[in-house]
Amino acid sequence: MPKLCIALDTEYENALKLVKALRGKDITFKVGYKLFISHHRRITEPIKEEGFELFLDLKLHDIPSTVQNGVLSAKELGADYLTVHITSGRDALRRAVEVSDGLKLLGVSLLTSLEEEHLKDFGVCLSKEEYVLRLASLALECGITGLVCSGKELPLLKSRFNFFAVVPGVRLGQEEREDQRRVVSLEEAIRNGADMVVLGRSILRSQDPVKTVEDILPLLQTHP
């Protein structure tokens, strides 16, 4: 059954309120720059204390020793998932895996806000699919077991590799895709083989976020 991950890209008080309101539910909370930089343990500790899984979305991208230190610090905070940019390179990925233990490392290939035109900006002349496949293969070769990918590329990746698929850029209905480009519906993400769906604004901006989560959870249960 796919997991539900809520991206807590919101104000601190609001995030805390949501964490407490969802006590007892099978949810992973994703903490990114917004809350982590300003609140650090004041947000990670309540998530762990309430019994939820903690996903630190810090998208590490640095030299091997710095990335390895980042993984060690994330473990100290009790993180269950941590993102690392695959373009940090094979040495950084291997050093991260070396110390990861129970922490699940998730390789980021191409952000769901990027398209082929952005690859050209970087001087990369591959198609999106070729680029994502190449990075996925590198990450898995280095021992990374999870990949963050768009629901659009998921069928292709799942047909080639065995990995834990984390899918952001998911929308519930006819909402705005905002800065996201490669969005998919929740049903499409699940159908395409997501092991974890990440939803931020669709939940945070709904009239009643707790009710929205309660509506989503049974949809996930219908999939093995």
Active site amino acids: 57, 59, 62
Residue 20 has phi, psi (to 5 degrees) of: -70, -40
- Which x/- pattern, by CB under 6 A, does the window 14-53 give for ligand C5P? ------------------x---------------------
Residue 198 in the binding site for ligand C5P (CB under 6 A): yes
| Helix, strand, coil share of the chain (percent; to 5) | 45, 20, 35
Site residues (CB under 6 A) for ligand C5P, limited to 56-75: 57
Please tell me the distance from the alpha carbon of residue 154 to that of residue 144, in angstroms, as a whole number: 17
Q: Which of residues 72-101 bind ligand C5P (CB under 6 A)?
A: none
DSSP one-letter code for 23: T
Q: Specify whether the CB–CB gap between 183 and 177 falls below 8 A.
A: yes
* C-alpha span between 144 and 155 (Å, rounded): 19
* Number of Cβ atoms within 10 Å of the Cβ of 118: 14
Contact 165, 146 (CB under 8 A): yes
* Of positions 27, 43, 97, 148, contacts ligand C5P by CB under 6 A: 148
201 binds ligand C5P (CB under 6 A): yes
CA distance 164 to 167: 10
- Dihedral of CA 62/67/69/71: which sign? positive
Bridge partners (DSSP) of residue 55 are 30, 81
Cβ closer to ligand C5P: 95 or 152?
152
Q: Which is nearer to ligand C5P, 97 or 196 (CB)?
A: 196
Tell whether residue 189 is a contact of ligand C5P (CB under 6 A). Answer: no
- Residue span binding ligand C5P (CB under 6 A) among the ranges 94-102, 154-162, 193-201, 208-216: 193-201
Task: State yes or no: 112 annotated in a binding site.
Answer: yes
CB of 170 to ligand C5P, least distance (A): 6
Which residue is closest to ligand C5P by CB? 200
The answer to the question of whether 44 is labelled as a binding residue is no
Q: Establish whether 200 is an annotated binding residue.
A: yes
Name the residues that contact ligand C5P, by CB under 6 A: 7, 9, 32, 57, 108, 111-112, 148, 168-169, 180, 198-202
